[in-house]
Amino acid sequence: MTKKALILVDVQNDFCPGGSLAVNDGDKVVAPLNAMVEYALRNGWLIVASRDWHPAETKHFAAFGGRWPAHCVQDTQGAEFHRDLRVGRATVVSKGTDPNDDGGYSAFDGKTDDGKTLGEVLRENEVVDVCVGGLATDYCVKATVLDSLRLGFKTTILFDACKAVNINPGDGSAAIEEMIKRGAWMSVTSRIINDY
């Protein structure tokens, strides 16, 4: 039987309404992702939740030469997962932890508390097929999907469980097009739950 994983990308307070780097309607991904979590638990999928976990001083932030306002600083309320997201049984990978690195967009850049990369976690669990949703479509979701494809996983984007930053109009749509062009599948949670 093909082993599957659900990857929840950065559904954190600072990326939701009221946060320091809020994605418009970012909290709207919680309900479809929770439905997917319930489905994944029933069917024995691996569940992984990535989080930005930045030090207070990092080249990722504008104050230190980067492009973004401070967000998801380690051990702050803004870095916590959205209170309604069901992450209780998820394996957590933390990314963006290097103060000298402006990267850390992809969940595959992150590591678990015991130092394993997401790729290692998926391989250890014999996963070949992943579904990805979260924030934001045009940055961390896209980076995660492209890395997943590069590493050889069948990768599905949960279209209704992603929201884009859209710094430039159409960035989210362009990101979806690029992911599909690179080989990703696109679906919605209701279809996965009913037809997968």
Which residue in the block uniquely carries the two structure tokens 């997917």?
36
In order of start, what are the domains of the chain with their CATH numbers? 3-48+85-91+106-195 (3.40.50.850)
The pair of three-digit structure tokens given for residue 51, joined into one six-digit string: 């989080």
- Residues contacting 75, CB < 8 A, separation 6+: none
What's the predicted TM-score (pTM) here? 0.96
Catalytic residue among 10, 52, 109, 138: 10
Read off the pLDDT of residues 63-82 as tens digits, 9 standing for 90 and up. 999 999 999 999 999 999 99
Tell me whether residue 162 is one of the annotated catalytic residues: no
Catalytic residue among 16, 72, 131, 140: 140
Tell me whether residue 140 is one of the annotated catalytic residues: yes
Spatial distance between the Cα atoms of 133 and 184, rounded to a whole number of angstroms: 13
Read off the pLDDT of residues 149-196 as tens digits, 9 standing for 90 and up. 999 999 999 999 999 999 999 999 999 999 999 999 999 999 999 875
- Segment 6-25 shows an average pLDDT of 97
Tell me whether residue 181 is one of the annotated catalytic residues: no
Spatial distance between the Cα atoms of 153 and 148, rounded to a whole number of angstroms: 6
